């Protein structure tokens, strides 16, 4: 089992679209994947499922909110009841706005653990346990977590549940500035995690021993605006390697490392313009668009380029997880 979380405290940078497209790509290549909607806004769920199916699940209490609540309280999480099949080999742990209520429970568990209550780790481990049960139920090789913005207890516990953390960024002032805030917070969480693990004699409940393993970043163009030029994007993108090392990894910046040669840059996507609105309308990934969806002429070239970019990123993630992506 390999769990990869996609997180940035900023909004509007394309985390949800990134997770959705990667999950579709993995399923297309024959890899069983579980997408986990841990964002209380449930954007991933609304992008993948019709509203009627979502409403029916929420009414029946079959979502991540109910399952996580059960797990945090030490009861059986019933993860299978919260998993919905999106397509062949593509499964979704259904999101729910009620998930926001778990923040208080997880925050309390974190503090109890700090004060020496080793049993509190069961609460902190609830997201990992839920994901593990869901993966087992659908026989997935990879789980991809979509997290909402915010630096609360839910996101902290979800990040601690992941084997790898990927930070999506956009090539602009706000992402660069955001790293200055995000980096110290992640360092603080990692130190606190290490202290708790050491004090309790080692990680428990199946949690990753390292905690918050930062694998790298993905440059998206989700926030591109019409008045921005490619030159402006390139200027800010060129600052990403140094900013990521300085603020997120807490390492000295190496000015000789460019975006194209930075091993921590897992992908740098183009801005696909009107492809995304077409994909949203068709309720499918951009690389599945056809002329019948409105993708004609130059759009089809962009569809092919989009496919190759997401395939390359899927292969990188697969290689890190020991999963072959054909």
Are both 155 and 104 inside the same structural domain? yes
Residue 326 lies in a domain: no
Are both 210 and 258 inside the same structural domain? yes
Let me know how long the chain is: 326
Are both 169 and 243 inside the same structural domain? yes
Residue 258 lies in a domain: yes
* Lowest-confidence segment of 51-55, 74-78, 128-132 by average pLDDT: 74-78
Distance CA 60, CA 200 (A): 38
Are both 297 and 184 inside the same structural domain? no
304: domain range?
Answer: 277-320
Residue 148 lies in a domain: yes
Residue 293 lies in a domain: yes
Residue 114 lies in a domain: yes
Mean pLDDT for the chain? 88
- pTM equals 0.92
Are both 83 and 115 inside the same structural domain? yes
Distance CA 63, CA 80 (A): 10
For residue range 172-213, what is the model confidence (pLDDT) as tens digits?
Answer: 888 888 888 899 999 899 888 888 777 766 555 667 767 788
Are both 299 and 263 inside the same structural domain? no
Domain end (from 232, 252, 271): 271
More confident residue, 226 or 283: 283
| % of the chain with per-residue pLDDT over 90 | 51
Q: What is the mean pLDDT of residues 121-146?
A: 89
Are both 135 and 28 inside the same structural domain? yes
CB 67 within 8 A of CB 79: yes
For residue range 3-38, what is the model confidence (pLDDT) as tens digits?
Answer: 999 999 888 888 999 999 999 999 999 999 999 999
Q: What is the mean pLDDT of residues 133-158?
A: 92
Residue 325 lies in a domain: no
Are both 264 and 286 inside the same structural domain? no
Query: 88: how many CB neighbours lie within 10 A of its CB?
Result: 9
Distance CA 147, CA 103 (A): 13
Are both 142 and 55 inside the same structural domain? yes
Domain end (from 250, 271, 292): 271
Are both 70 and 190 inside the same structural domain? yes
Place of tokens 């077409």: 278
List the Cα angle 265/314/275 in 5-degree steps.
90
* Lowest-confidence segment of 13-17, 46-50, 65-69, 263-267 by average pLDDT: 65-69
Are both 188 and 313 inside the same structural domain? no
Domain end (from 239, 255, 271): 271
- Domain containing 251 — which CATH number? 3.40.50.300
Are both 295 and 194 inside the same structural domain? no
Q: How many structural domains does the chain have? A: 2
Look at residue 205 in the predicted model and tell me its pLDDT: 60
Which range among 112-116, 205-209, 319-323 has the greatest average pLDDT?
319-323
For residue range 273-297, what is the model confidence (pLDDT) as tens digits?
Answer: 789 899 999 999 999 999 999 989 8
């Amino acid at each position: 089992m390999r769990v990869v979380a996609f997180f940035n405290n900023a909004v509007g940078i394309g985390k949800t679209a990134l997770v959705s497209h990667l999950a579709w790509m993995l399923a297309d290549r024959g890899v069983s994947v579980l997408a986990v909607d841990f964002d209380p806004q449930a954007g991933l769920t609304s992008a993948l499922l019709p509203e009627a199916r979502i409403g029916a699940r929420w009414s029946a209490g079959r979502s991540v909110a109910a399952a996580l609540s059960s797990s945090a309280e030490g009861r059986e999480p019933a993860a299978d009841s919260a998993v919905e099949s999106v397509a062949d080999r593509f499964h979704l742990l259904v999101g729910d706005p009620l998930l926001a209520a778990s923040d208080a429970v997880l925050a309390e568990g974190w503090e109890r653990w700090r004060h020496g209550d080793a049993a509190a780790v069961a609460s902190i481990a609830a997201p990992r346990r839920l994901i593990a049960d869901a993966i087992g139920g659908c026989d997935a090789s990879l789980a991809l977590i979509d997290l909402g913005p915010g630096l609360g207890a839910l996101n902290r516990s979800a990040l601690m549940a992941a084997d790898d953390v990927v930070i999506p960024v956009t090539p602009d002032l706000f992402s660069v500035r955001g790293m200055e805030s995000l980096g110290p917070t992640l360092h603080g969480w990692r130190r606190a995690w290490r202290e708790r693990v050491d004090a309790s004699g080692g990680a428990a409940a199946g949690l990753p021993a390292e905690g918050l393993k930062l694998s790298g970043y993905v440059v998206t163009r989700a926030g591109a605006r019409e008045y921005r030029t490619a030159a402006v994007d390139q200027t800010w993108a060129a600052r990403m390697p140094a900013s990521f090392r300085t603020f997120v990894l807490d390492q000295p910046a190496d000015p000789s490392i460019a975006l194209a040669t930075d091993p921590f840059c897992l992908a740098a996507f183009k801005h696909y313009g009107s492809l995304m609105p077409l994909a949203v309308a068709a309720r499918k990934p951009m690389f599945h668009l056809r002329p019948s969806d409105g993708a004609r002429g130059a759009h089809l070239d962009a569809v092919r380029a989009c496919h190759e970019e997401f395939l390359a990123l899927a292969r990188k993630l697969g290689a890190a997880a020991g999963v072959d992506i054909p």
